């Protein structure tokens, strides 16, 4: 029973082998097609081929193989091009392209995360920080500095200047102009610091240090300008750094010693004071008190100063 059940499959496999042999013997096929009784010639030739290999093939198998060749049986015919074929191709090649796709997706994810962390995140934090500065920090700083200035002085001019700076800063902050708003805060801070300063302007009278300077201006060689070398001494006895603008070149420098312009009479009096014993006894030339911006000078002190001599 098993041999009978297996026979049709054996016959089919043998017929497929016959067709495969005919395809490989392409020259024989072409020759037999040109003959009149081609089927008989092809069967006879196939019988010789299999006999040479020691294989006995029944004529019905040979006939079935020849008939199968003519009908293109046992030939794989690819499906026609179309969506179904394309999808099938994509599916069967998934192990190949899926690796590249996974790598591409991973690269995109890494790039997006890097962009978010290195560019978008810092930019958003900077924008948020700037917004807090403009809406909270700067208005609070302005209010605090104005209150401090009002507590330092009652001079109308100074208070008006403080309000002007505060108004400019608030408007700039509301308009999103950070640079202008910061400048207003810095100007208020500088004003507050100047009002808080307390010092005495004293004549420098030390060995090896010039006390007086006489200048002949280029524009008028017959005249002379007189200067006394001074320094600002704080409550703790140390010399303070001051921003002094030279009237000779209009340059502002941060210095601890400068030469203040004075009248000729004051210049001569200081000279005589020093000539007596080499020390200027009356060394106080001006006083700066808390809550004021100007120095209260002694008689004979003029506007103007120089920083080099």
Domain end: 196, 230, 261, which one?
A: 196
CA-CA distance, 189 to 148, in Å (whole number)?
10
Listed ranges 45-49, 57-61, 104-108, 257-261; the one with the highest mean pLDDT: 257-261
Give 231's strand partners.
202, 257
Give 296's strand partners.
287
Task: Tell me, yes or no, whether 64 and 26 share the same domain.
Answer: yes
Question: What number is the average pLDDT over the span 86-97?
Answer: 78
229-255 tens-digit pLDDT:
999 999 999 999 999 999 999 999 999
Tell me whether residue 16 is in a domain: yes
Task: Tell me, yes or no, whether 192 and 203 share the same domain.
Answer: no
Task: Tell me, yes or no, whether 203 and 271 share the same domain.
Answer: yes
pLDDT of residue 70: 63
202-216 tens-digit pLDDT:
999 888 789 999 998
Task: Tell me, yes or no, whether 57 and 135 share the same domain.
Answer: no
Task: Flag whether pLDDT at 177 surpasses 50.
Answer: yes
Q: Which residue has the higher pLDDT, 13 or 163?
A: 163
pLDDT of residue 3: 46
Instruction: Write down how long the chain is.
Output: 309
Q: Which residue has the higher pLDDT, 24 or 81?
A: 81
Number of domains in the chain: 3
pLDDT classification of 84: cutoffs 50, 70, 90: confident
Q: pTM (2 decimals)? A: 0.59
> Percent of the chain scored above 90 by pLDDT?
52
Give Cα separations from 305 to 14, 34, 37, 186, 213 (angstroms).
121, 125, 131, 26, 11
Domain end: 54, 70, 86, which one?
A: 70
> Percent of the chain scored above 70 by pLDDT?
83
pLDDT of residue 287: 98
Task: Tell me, yes or no, whether 115 and 36 share the same domain.
Answer: no
Tell me whether residue 98 is in a domain: no
Tell me whether residue 21 is in a domain: yes
Question: What number is the average pLDDT over the span 152-176?
Answer: 96
pLDDT classification of 300: cutoffs 50, 70, 90: very high
Task: Tell me, yes or no, whether 179 and 245 share the same domain.
Answer: no
CA-CA distance, 177 to 111, in Å (whole number)?
34
DSSP letter at 119 equals I
Task: Flag whether pLDDT at 168 surpasses 60.
Answer: yes
pLDDT classification of 276: cutoffs 50, 70, 90: confident
Tell me whether residue 103 is in a domain: no
Task: Tell me, yes or no, whether 187 and 228 share the same domain.
Answer: no
Task: Flag whether pLDDT at 79 surpasses 70.
Answer: no
The domain of 151 spans 110-196
pLDDT of residue 115: 86
Mean pLDDT taken over the chain? 85
Task: Tell me, yes or no, whether 124 and 189 share the same domain.
Answer: yes
Tell me whether residue 85 is in a domain: no
Domain end: 70, 92, 119, which one?
A: 70
Q: Which residue has the higher pLDDT, 167 or 29?
A: 167
Q: What is the maximal distance between C-alpha atoms in the chain?
A: 153
Tell me whether residue 34 is in a domain: yes
Task: Tell me, yes or no, whether 235 and 286 share the same domain.
Answer: yes
pLDDT classification of 76: cutoffs 50, 70, 90: low
Question: What number is the average pLDDT over the span 126-140?
Answer: 95
Task: Flag whether pLDDT at 26 surpasses 90.
Answer: no
Task: Tell me, yes or no, whether 210 and 289 share the same domain.
Answer: yes
For residues 86-112, one letter each, b for 16 or more C-beta atoms within 10 angstroms of the residue's C-beta and e for the rest, the string is: eeeeeeeeeeeeeeeeeeeeeeeeeee
pLDDT classification of 117: cutoffs 50, 70, 90: confident
pLDDT classification of 225: cutoffs 50, 70, 90: very high
pLDDT of residue 297: 97
Task: Tell me, yes or no, whether 214 and 296 share the same domain.
Answer: yes
pLDDT classification of 6: cutoffs 50, 70, 90: very low
pLDDT of residue 4: 43
pLDDT classification of 180: cutoffs 50, 70, 90: very high
Task: Flag whether pLDDT at 56 surpasses 90.
Answer: no
Task: Tell me, yes or no, whether 208 and 296 share the same domain.
Answer: yes
CA-CA distance, 191 to 158, in Å (whole number)?
9
């Amino acid at each position: 029973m098993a041999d009978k059940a297996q026979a049709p499959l054996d016959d089919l496999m043998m017929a497929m082998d016959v067709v495969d042999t005919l395809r490989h013997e392409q020259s024989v096929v072409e020759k037999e097609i040109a003959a009149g009784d081609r089927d008989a010639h092809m069967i006879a030739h196939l019988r010789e081929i299999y006999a040479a290999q020691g294989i006995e093939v029944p004529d019905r198998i040979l006939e079935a193989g020849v008939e199968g060749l003519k009908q293109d049986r046992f030939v794989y015919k690819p499906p026609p091009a179309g969506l179904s074929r394309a999808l099938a191709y994509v599916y069967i090649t998934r192990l190949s392209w899926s690796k590249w796709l996974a790598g591409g997706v991973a690269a995109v994810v890494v790039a997006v995360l890097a962009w978010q962390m290195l560019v978008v995140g810092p930019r958003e934090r900077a924008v948020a920080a700037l917004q807090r500065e403009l809406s909270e920090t700067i208005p609070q700083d302005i209010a605090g500095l104005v209150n401090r200035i009002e507590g330092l002085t009652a001079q109308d001019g100074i208070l008006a200047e403080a309000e002007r700076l505060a108004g400019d800063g608030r408007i700039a902050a509301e308009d999103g102009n950070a640079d202008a708003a910061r400048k207003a805060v810095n100007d208020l801070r500088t004003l507050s610091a100047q009002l808080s300063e307390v010092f005495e302007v004293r004549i420098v009278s030390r060995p090896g240090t010039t006390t007086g300077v006489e200048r002949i201006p280029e524009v008028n060689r017959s005249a002379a300008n007189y200067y006394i070398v001074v320094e600002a001494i704080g409550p703790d006895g140390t010399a303070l750094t001051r921003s002094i603008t030279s009237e000779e070149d209009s340059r502002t420098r941060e210095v601890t010693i400068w030469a203040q312009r004075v009248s000729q009479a004051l210049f001569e009096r200081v000279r005589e004071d020093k000539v007596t014993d080499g020390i200027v006894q009356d060394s106080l030339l001006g006083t700066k008190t808390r809550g004021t911006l100007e120095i209260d000078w002694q008689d004979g002190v003029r506007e103007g100063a120089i920083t080099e001599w």
